[in-house]
């Protein structure tokens, strides 16, 4: 049945017009360096490889790239275990390569954001080695969280905190003579000891690290675990297990403590002391959109990843609710909202959206294409994860012996710590990109790829999709080109239009976006001139049939 689209209330407060920074509506492409492009044939992506492929990103039409950690690291957690914050790991190249990459990106009109990992260092960082060599209570231990154990002989961890990767968040040290000593805190892997942000040395060191990369020319930082640096005084017990399941739904004594905001404020002052708009984006897991918005108050960071939207199921009502909450929360502090569907820590959305939907991978891909058009039509900034522009699915059949995600080893029945029950390991979303139809690793590099790529990825390659009007890559290219062209997209206001159940219709200046989340087509009065659609539209006497799981943009 044909349904009317009529205007309803605007949902978003007016935006401040002054101080419009590039980041307010930037499309930022996440380069997972290890898996993007390999220049030297060791099977691992590197900075030179990434630099050579920057024209692809400029051509795609994004505004900025975010590079995941390429710093000196034993790679216990894909580089999120940093041993030297100012050095490039030889796996990824040299400092000169980093410099070249930033320059080339700027020449192409792309900004560059790099990761900073302040919650923890590597256990191979000189500071942690010194700490281990120091005595209990010694100055070198004050840069981390060392505590005596509980129990008659200190044989029990100092509190009941669990590592995000499974198992206890504490590891006991062993003295030079082999006797067990104090315990140290690691919210992630044991190779990632948490730094103590009460230590003035830690604070001063990170100021200096930020300056180092800002001086090299980067345009900002993605702040890893931005919600974790401050721990509740006294490190109190939580009182129950399965704490990882509470992340993002509760304030925990180790996450989202109010004290973190003071650190972000001081970082904002540092960023603002540099010319150009240098930004900080928080990877923060907060229980509510309101608490997340605290990270992007005017004197704090510029953006925070909107994980509430990422976690939202494929359901029109639920999506509308999260969109409204997100816009209201960030709008209340004058910050832009971010939209993100995938990253290197979650199952790729093409696969997530297929789960339990029936219809298999094609259904997931249809929804993923539609979701991309939806987020690019919403007010604010969007983050794309490498490969989503190719519609890549999660690789679900990796052999266990090739896996590298530390969470796998700490939680799988086959892993050393044997605690089963957790799925969604993070190697399957990190499989290297296919660039060409043929050749070693589909053009990822001349020497294979650190994780095997599925045999059917030739047709998903950049080469295969380029010029094919029905391809996901061309859909992204067109959407990003339109986003640049149409003043109504990006930053600004939106309002909802009435639409049948299961359909979302939103209005931006000069434009309407319709999303059909249903498994069947929906007939609507033609909203305007079709600009772009994630699936072919069919017209009939003043109405249009919107295909299942699809999204379209209309000029009005």
Quick check: is 283 catalytic?
yes
Selected from 25, 46, 77, 162, the binder of ligand GLC by CB under 6 A is: 77
Following CA atoms 340, 342, 346, 348 in sequence, which dihedral angle do they give, to the nearest 10 degrees?
Answer: 150
Whether 224 is catalytic? yes
Q: 5 or 116: whose CB is closer to ligand GLC?
A: 116
Stretch that binds ligand GLC, among 53-61, 74-82, 358-366, 376-384 (CB under 6 A): 74-82
Q: Of 119 and 533, which has the nearer Cβ to ligand GLC?
A: 119
144 touches ligand GLC by CB under 6 A: no
Query: DSSP string of 136-199?
Result: TT-GGGGGB-EE--BSTTS-B-SS--B-TTSSBSEEEEE-TTS-EEEEEE-SS-TTSPBB-TT-
Q: Enumerate residues 394-423 that contact ligand GLC by CB under 6 A.
A: none
Residue 224 binds ligand GLC, judged by CB under 6 A: yes
Among 99, 345, 474, 521, binds ligand GLC (CB under 6 A): 345
Strand partners, 383: 28, 340
Structure tokens at 222: 């993605």
DSSP state of 474: H
Please identify, using beta-carbon distances, which residue of 224 and 549 lies nearer to ligand GLC.
224
Look up residue 529 and give its two tokens. Answer: 């001139």
Find the binder of ligand GLC among 37, 225, 335, 378 (CB under 6 A): 225
Under rule CB under 6 A, residue 31 binds ligand GLC? no
Q: How far apart are CA 318 and CA 493, in angstroms?
A: 20
> SS3 string of 419-448?
CCCCCCCCCCCCCCCCCCCCCHHHHCCCCC
Residue 188 found at the interface with ligand GLC (CB under 6 A): yes
Q: Which of these segments, 75-83, 450-458, 486-494, 502-510, binds ligand GLC (CB under 6 A)?
A: 75-83
How many positions of this chain bind ligand GLC (CB under 6 A)? 10
What residue is closest to ligand GLC based on CB?
Answer: 80
Based on the shown chain and the rule CB under 6 A, indicate whether residue 256 belongs to the binding site for ligand GLC: no
Closest to ligand GLC by CB, 80 vs 457, is 80
Instruction: Tell me which of 38, 115, 160, 224 is the catalytic residue.
Output: 224
Find where tokens 């640096």 sit: 229
CB-count exposure of residue 249 (10 Å: 0-12, 13-18, 19+): exposed
Tokens of 48: 């030179």
| Residue 300 is a binding residue for ligand GLC (CB under 6 A) | no
DSSP string, 228-264: -S---TT-----SS-GGGGTTTS-BTTBS-TTHHHHH
Nearer to ligand GLC, 323 or 429 (CB): 429
Q: Any alpha helices (H) in 304-344, and if so which ranges? A: 307-311, 316-332
CB of 192 to ligand GLC, least distance (A): 6
The verdict on 114 binding ligand GLC (CB under 6 A) reads no
Cβ neighbours, 10 Å, residue 520 = 9
**Residue selected from 80, 183, 307, 409 as contacting ligand GLC according to rule CB under 6 A:** 80
Residues in touch with ligand GLC (CB under 6 A): 77-78, 80, 117, 188, 224-225, 283, 344-345
Please give the positions annotated as active site: 224, 283
């Amino acid at each position: 049945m044909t349904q009317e689209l009529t205007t309803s209330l605007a949902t978003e407060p007016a935006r401040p017009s002054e101080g419009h920074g590039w980041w307010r509506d930037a499309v930022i492409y996440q380069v997972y360096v290890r898996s993007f492009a390999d220049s030297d044939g060791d099977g691992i992506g590197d900075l030179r490889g990434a630099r050579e492929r920057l024209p692809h990103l400029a051509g795609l039409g994004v505004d900025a790239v975010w590079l995941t950690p390429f710093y000196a690291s034993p790679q216990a957690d894909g580089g999120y275990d940093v041993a030297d914050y100012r050095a490039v790991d030889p796996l990824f190249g040299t400092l000169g390569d980093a410099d070249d990459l930033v320059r080339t990106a700027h020449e192409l009109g792309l900004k560059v954001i790099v990761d900073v990992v302040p919650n923890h260092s590597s256990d191979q960082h000189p500071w942690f080695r010194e700490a281990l060599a120091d005595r209990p209570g010694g100055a070198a231990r004050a840069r981390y969280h060392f505590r005596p154990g509980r129990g008659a002989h200190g044989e029990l961890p100092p509190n009941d905190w669990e590592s995000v990767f499974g198992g206890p968040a504490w590891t006991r040290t062993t003295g030079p003579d082999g006797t067990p000593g104090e315990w140290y805190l690691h919210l992630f892997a044991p190779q990632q000891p948490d730094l103590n942000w009460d230590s003035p040395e830690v604070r001063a060191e990170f100021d200096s690290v930020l300056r180092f990369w800002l001086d090299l020319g980067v345009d900002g930082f993605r702040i890893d675990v931005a919600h974790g640096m401050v721990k509740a005084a006294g490190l109190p017990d939580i009182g129950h297990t399965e704490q990882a399941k509470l992340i993002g739904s509760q304030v925990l004594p180790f996450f989202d403590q109010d004290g973190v905001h003071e650190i972000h404020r001081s970082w904002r002052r540092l960023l603002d002391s540099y010319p150009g708009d240098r930004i900080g984006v928080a990877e923060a897991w907060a229980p509510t959109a309101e608490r997340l918005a605290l990270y992007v108050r005017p004197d704090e960071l510029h953006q925070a990843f909107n994980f509430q939207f990422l976690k939202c199921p494929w359901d029109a009502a639920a999506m509308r609710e999260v969109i409204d909450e997100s816009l209201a929360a960030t709008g209340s502090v004058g910050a832009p909202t971010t939209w993100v569907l995938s990253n290197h820590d979650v199952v790729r959305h093409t696969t997530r959206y297929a789960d339990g939907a029936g219809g298999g991978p094609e259904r997931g891909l249809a929804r993923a294409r539609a979701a991309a058009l939806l987020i690019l039509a919403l007010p604010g900034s969007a983050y794309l994860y490498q490969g989503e522009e190719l519609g890549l699915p999660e690789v679900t059949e990796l052999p266990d012996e090739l896996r590298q995600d530390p969470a796998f080893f700490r939680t799988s029945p086959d892993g050393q710590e044997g605690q089963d029950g957790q799925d969604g390991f993070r190697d399957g979303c990190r499989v290297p990109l296919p660039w060409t139809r043929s050749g070693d690793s589909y053009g990822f590099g001349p020497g294979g790829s650190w994780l095997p790529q599925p045999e059917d990825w030739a047709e998903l390659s950049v080469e295969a999709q380029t010029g094919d009007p029905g391809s996901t890559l061309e859909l992204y290219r067109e959407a990003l080109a339109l986003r640049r062209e149409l003043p109504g997209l990006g930053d600004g206001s939106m309002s909802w239009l009435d639409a049948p159940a299961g359909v979302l219709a939103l209005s931006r200046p000069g434009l309407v976006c319709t999303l059909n989340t249903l498994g069947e087509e929906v007939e609507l009065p033609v909203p305007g001139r079709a600009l772009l659609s994630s699936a072919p539209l069919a017209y009939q006497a003043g109405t249009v049939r919107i295909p299942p799981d699809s999204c379209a943009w209309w000029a009005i």
